Amino acid sequence: MVAVFKKILLRDLGKLKTEIELYRDEQRIWHAEKQITNSAGTLCVHLIGSFNHFIGAQLGNTGYVRKRELEFLPDSVPRAELLKRLDDTIQVVAQTFDSLPESKLEEEYPQPLFDEKVTTGHLLTHVVSHLNYHLGQVNYHRRLLDN
């Protein structure tokens, strides 16, 4: 299952990267309107923080310190910087999974998820779901704004 998690997460982080690359107008990446306050850029920064925390810091011992509240500030990180951060995150995920033993999936994850103790396998299932939820939002955001 470790190989399956790695394959799915790397595939879908790659899709997120493609979505960011596909925006015709770079400024649209950061566009938010009405009640939809999270732009594709904000969601991308949030996912980068999430992966570096839940996988990098907690499973890969990278030392990353998450500042979640900063992930949702309106910002305009240049596309090239977002893509570099995504590439760095993809590298962290790949390296972490390369050294993650199968037995770790049944062990308790080092940190509660929504105040509940869970296994690492449970946490990784949540991370896959979380990524795909926001990936769908980014895809829809891009297609809506580019048409």
Tens of each residue's pLDDT in the chain, 147 residues: 999 999 999 999 999 999 999 999 999 999 998 888 899 999 999 999 999 999 999 999 999 999 888 877 767 789 999 999 999 999 999 999 999 999 999 999 999 999 999 999 999 999 999 999 999 999 999 999 887
Q: Where are the domains of the chain?
A: 2-146
What's the confidence (pLDDT) of residue 27?
93
Distance CA 15, CA 21 (A): 10
Q: The domain 2-146 is classified under which CATH number: 1.20.120.450, 3.40.640.10, 4.10.220.20, 1.20.1260.10?
A: 1.20.120.450
> What is the distance of C-alpha 60 from the center of its chain?
15
Distance CA 71, CA 68 (A): 5
Asked whether 64 and 101 are in contact (CB, 8 A), the reply is no
**Residue type present at position 69:** E
Q: What is the pTM of this model?
A: 0.93
Asked whether 55 and 42 are in contact (CB, 8 A), the reply is no
